[in-house]
């Protein structure tokens, strides 16, 4: 009976050793899988960071383009307004000349 108990105890210890080994191997596999998942997530995170930086850079470039185009538009608008002012001034001068000439012709007729 003692021998039987020793044998069953030995078997039970082997079974427990096998279970511990399986648990250890499963734990190792799970840790490796978790590490792979973490590495993949880190890789994705870094890629997203790069994308964000690229978008920020493009946004800055567009803001510069908008500022440049706004300056060009404002400059052209000022030039157009200046040309309009000069044209209006020239029109008044011409009108005055015609009026003076008309006045002179009227005086000459009256004389």
pTM value? 0.54
User: What's the pLDDT tens digit per position in 9-29?
Assistant: 999 999 999 999 999 999 999
**How wide is the angle at C-alpha 24 spanned by C-alphas 18 and 25, nearest 5°?**
90
pLDDT exceeds cutoff 90 at 2: no
DSSP code of residue 99: H
27-36 LR contacts (CB < 8 Å, sep 24+) = none
| DSSP conformation class of 34 | H
Helical (H) or strand (E) element with 1: none
């Amino acid at each position: 009976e003692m021998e039987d108990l020793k044998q069953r105890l030995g078997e039970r210890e082997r079974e427990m050793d096998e279970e511990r080994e399986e648990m250890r191997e499963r734990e190792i596999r799970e840790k490796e899988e978790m590490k792979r998942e973490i590495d993949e997530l880190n890789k994705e995170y870094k890629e997203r960071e790069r994308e964000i930086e690229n978008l920020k850079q493009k946004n800055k470039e567009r803001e510069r383009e908008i500022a440049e185009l706004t300056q060009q538009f404002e400059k052209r608008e000022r030039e157009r307004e200046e040309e309009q002012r000069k044209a209006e001034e020239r029109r008044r001068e011409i009108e005055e000349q015609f009026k003076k000439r008309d006045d002179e012709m009227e005086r000459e007729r009256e004389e």
